[in-house]
Chains A and B, each alone.
Chain A
Amino acid sequence: EDQVTQSPEALRLQEGESSSLNCSYTVSGLRGLFWYRQDPGKGPEFLFTLYSAGEEKEKERLKATLTKKESFLHITAPKPEDSATYLCAVLYSGGYQKVTFGTGTKLQVIP
């Protein structure tokens, strides 16, 4: 049973073309939803933590939002250096310290 589902699997954007990545979750008792960025050959790098519905976090061209069922990572006017795989993860009541990851969205930004 999938607990964290990300869509789309891959996304190709022109530089400057804004878009959103989706992360939907089915766990109960969400304690935190996290976004990570992963570059090829590297480990995931932490971006944001969201704790409750309605919360938003921003960092440069990235903005993460959270509802009771899903989270969005909005990318405004992306640049080629934003190309990476973006991973969503959740920590929930039944999972204690286990952070469960989705399979990611591979973003490619074309100059």
Chain B
Amino acid sequence: DAGVIQSPRHEVTEMGQEVTLRCKPISGHDYLFWYRQTMMRGLELLIYFNNNVPIDDSGMPEDRFSAKMPNASFSTLKIQPSEPRDSAVYFCASSTRLAGGPGTGELFFGEGSRLTVL
């Protein structure tokens, strides 16, 4: 399997522009997570899906952020309008197991999308 695939790897945009980040999870994984990583705050969970349904979006910072998962093989994270403080590396991760049992919690991460908002 190719692993979790994210695009674009790098995005530079100007404040106020719309940004769309994309993710293809590992086939067969029914959990998908979006994280944001900064030097100051580390990895923060933004939202996660189970079987394409958003389960918890409490980490989404503002209404400017939205995420969708139209099918099991694709998810998007959209920022509109973007602001300089949104600059970070955004990771998508997928997982196949429910919490609490053997092997749970192992997340498979993509290589991230580095976003710079000028």
Contact = CB atoms under 8 A, between A and B. Distances in A.
Interface of A: 31-32, 34, 41-46, 49, 87, 89, 91, 96-104
Interface of B: 4, 31, 33, 35, 41-45, 48, 50, 55-56, 91, 93, 98-100, 103-112
A98 B107 contact: no
Contact of B111 (A42, A97, A98, A103): A42
B2 to A, nearest CB: 13
Contacts of A43: 4, 91, 93, 109-112
Given A49-B104, A97-B55, A98-B48, A31 B110 contact: no
A51 to B, nearest CB: 8
B104 A102 contact: no
A34 B106 contact: yes
